[in-house]
Amino acid sequence: MDEPAAPAAEATEAAQANRANRANRAARPPSLKSRALRLLAAREHSRLELAAKLQPHEAEPGELQRVLDELQAKGFINEQRVLESVIHRRAPRLGTARVLQELQRKGLDADAIAQARASLNSTEADRAMAVWQRRFGQAPATASEQARHMRFLAARGFSGAAVAMVMRRVMGSAGGDEMSPEMRESIRAAMAEPLADSTKEIDW
């Protein structure tokens, strides 16, 4: 009657061993590859971004580069997708200068960024108009209001030419005449404040 005790003890030991193995696996830090895939599952990342985020977790020299090479070879890192993702998310809300800054921070190819610049420049005035419409929707009544509208757009990276085009459309739709010298000067002053690389000379 006492013989089943041995199998029961063995089963208990096996269960304890399984629990110990699971605990060890849980305590073990995730691999660089696992961390990278988790980041890529959340959104597209460039190689430079992944390297910056994963470098603190590199266990031995060269490990990070090997992981990034493997992921890039398998298509998990695709910088064209990164570029398209940034433009899709940012262009409807930001001017060309701000979008290009983000692309540059991600370390994307200079030729790809140059192509993106040309595409963004071709739509910038329309995008600036859409942003203005969502934020204001009504023509400014005074020079100070107009300067505030201009600062809003300039701070979002829209060029001086694009912002001036918006103001011409807005003042025209409001039945206004040509901008007064005072309004022009206030606009120039507004455009001098935000992004240095988005404050182009306004061609009136």
**How confident is the model at residue 62, as a pLDDT?**
93
| CATH code: domain of residue 41 | 1.10.10
Residue 53 lies in a domain: yes
Q: Residue 67 falls within a domain, yes or no?
A: yes
Measured between alpha carbons, how far apart are the two ends of the chain, in Å?
103
Classify burial at 107, counting beta carbons within 10 Å of its beta carbon; exposed 0-12, middle 13-18, buried 19 or more: middle
User: How many folded domains does the chain comprise?
Assistant: 1
181: phi > 0 → left, psi -120 to 50 → alpha, else beta; which? alpha
Per-residue tokens: 204: 């009136």
Is residue 167 included in any domain, yes or no?
A: no
Q: Is residue 111 part of a domain?
A: no
Per-residue pLDDT of the chain in tens (204 residues, 90 and over written 9): 455 555 665 656 655 656 655 655 556 789 999 999 999 999 999 999 999 999 999 989 999 999 999 999 999 999 999 999 999 999 999 999 999 999 999 999 999 999 999 999 999 999 999 999 999 999 998 888 988 999 999 999 999 999 999 998 998 765 444 555 665 665 566 556 544 443 343 333
In a domain, 173, yes or no: no
pLDDT of residue 46: 96
Distance (Å, whole) CA 42 – CA 58: 21
The angle formed by the CA atoms of residues 115, 120 and 51, to the nearest 5 degrees, is 60
Range of the domain at 64: 28-77
Indicate the pTM of the whole model: 0.71
- Give the tokens for residue 26: 């849980």
Would residue 66 count as lying in a domain? Answer: yes
User: Residue 62 domain-assigned?
Assistant: yes
Q: Is the dihedral of CA 96, 99, 105, 111 positive or negative?
A: negative
Cα separation of 37 and 182, whole Å? 56
**Residue 10 belongs to a domain:** no
How far from 3 is each of 16, 65, 202, CA to CA, in Å?
21, 58, 96
Q: Are 152 and 177 in contact (CB under 8 A)?
A: no
